[in-house]
Amino acid sequence: MNERIRQRLDAHLSSQGLRRTKQRDVIVEAAFSSDEHFKAEELLDKARKIDSTVSRATVYRTLTLLVECGLLRQVDLGRDQIHYDPNFLDKPQHNHLICLDCDRVVEFEDEHVALLHDCITRRLGFLQPKLMSMRIEAHCEELSRSGTCKQRDAQKHRQA
Amino acid sequence: MNERIRQRLDAHLSSQGLRRTKQRDVIVEAAFSSDEHFKAEELLDKARKIDSTVSRATVYRTLTLLVECGLLRQVDLGRDQIHYDPNFLDKPQHNHLICLDCDRVVEFEDEHVALLHDCITRRLGFLQPKLMSMRIEAHCEELSRSGTCKQRDAQKHRQA
DNA sequence: GTTTCTGCAAAGGTTTTGCAACAAA
DNA sequence: TTTGTTGCAAAACCTTTGCAGAAAC
C-alpha cells in the first residue's frame, strides 16, 4: 500500500483513538488499488475479492472514515450517483470533465481555476475558499471529427 | 406563472406528445413560486399547499419532466442531498457558493468562468462544453471579522 | 480487561414502478 | 375514443443502525 496513504490513515486512527483492523486494511487496499472512481457497492465487490467475508456495513463505515481523513472525496459525476475519488492525495486541486459520448471521466488540474475561485470568493464577501469543485460535460472532438473514438469503441465492445 | 416557463413547458409537452394537466400546473407553480432550491419532498409539501391531493409519485415524475426540458437542474450543494434549482432559465450560467458557517447558498455569475471552461475543454480534446458547474465552499468574512453574521443569527433564531 | 469493531439483519429514507381508474385531446 | 396521466401501494435502492460476539490494544 502507498506509503502516504498508510501514514495519513494511521495518523487519523491514532489521533481519534481508533483501531487498525484487518477489514480496514482490506477496504483501503481495494479503494486505492487503482485510480478509478467507484461507488460504495463497487468497493464492496473489490474488497470481497481480497477477503470475501468483508461486510457491507463495514464498507460504508470505512468510507465515512476515509472521507473524514481526506483520503477519499465524494464527487458528483452526474449520472445520479455519488462516486468516491481516491486521487485527491496526489492531486488535491483536480476537477472532472465527463464525456457525453462515452461517460469517461477525465481529471484535470488548471492553475487558473484556483485564482478564479479565490477572486470570486472574496468578491462575494467570503474568506479563502475551502472546498472547490468544477465539473464540465462535453462531447468528444475525436468522435465528432472521425466518427469514432477509442474509448467509445472499447465501451461498445464491453457491452457486447 | 412566468411566461417563459409556461412557453418552454408547453413547447416540450407538445413536442413530445405529452399533456398539460392540473397536477403538472400545480407542481410547476410550486416549483417556481420562489427562487429557492428544494428537495423532492419539499416540493411535494409546497404543491400540497396548493392542492392537497397531489401525489408523491406525480411530483417525482414531474421533476424528471422539468429537468428534461431544462426548467430545473439538479445541483449538488454538498450535504448529501440532491437539490433542484429553478433559476437556470434566468441565469443559465450561474454557479454556487455555500457558506460553511450557515449553509446559505449564494448564486453567482462570472464572465471569466465560461472562458476558462471553454479553454480547458478544448485543451483536453473535447468540443464546446455543454454543461458546467462550479461549487465553492467558504467561511463568511463578516462572521470572522465581527463575530456575527446576519444569516447565522437568523438561522439560530429559527432553530430556537 | 476494556473499548472499539464487525457482521448480521432490520430499519430508514428516497425514488421508481405496475396497475386500474381517470382525464386530456 | 385513444392515449397519456394519476394515485396508490408495493417494490427497489441505497445507507444507517442496534446489538451481540469478536478483535484490537
Q: Which residues of B touch A141 (CB under 8 A)?
A: 122, 125-127
Question: CA-CA distance, B70 to B56, in Å (whole number)?
Answer: 21
Whether the pLDDT of residue A159 is over 60: the answer is no
Whether the pLDDT of residue A141 is over 70: the answer is yes
Nearest nucleotide (CA of B80 to C1'): D15
- Please report the pLDDT score of residue A160 as a whole number: 41
Q: Which domains does chain B have, with CATH numbers?
A: 1-89 (1.10.10.10), 91-160 (3.30.1490.190)
Residue B160 — pLDDT band, cuts 50, 70, 90? very low
Question: CA-CA distance, B66 to B60, in Å (whole number)?
Answer: 10
- Please report the pLDDT score of residue B141 as a whole number: 85
Q: Is the whole model's pTM more than 0.75, yes or no?
A: yes
Residue A71 buriedness (CB in 10 A; 0-12 / 13-18 / 19+): buried
Cell numbers found for residue A89: 492525495
Task: Please judge whether B97 and A137 are an interchain contact, meaning their C-beta atoms are less than 8 angstroms apart.
Answer: no
Distance CA B64 to C1' C23 in A:
21
How confident is the model over A77-92, as a mean pLDDT?
A: 92
Cell numbers found for residue A9: 490513515
Nearest CA of chain B to the CA of A136: how many Å? 4
Residue B78 — pLDDT band, cuts 50, 70, 90? confident
B22 three-state secondary structure: helix
Task: Please judge whether A134 and B130 are an interchain contact, meaning their C-beta atoms are less than 8 angstroms apart.
Answer: no
Residue B156 — pLDDT band, cuts 50, 70, 90? low
Helix A22-31 to helix A56-68 angle (10° resolution) is 70
- Please report the pLDDT score of residue B159 as a whole number: 47
Task: Please judge whether A121 and B76 are an interchain contact, meaning their C-beta atoms are less than 8 angstroms apart.
Answer: no
Residue A2 — pLDDT band, cuts 50, 70, 90? confident
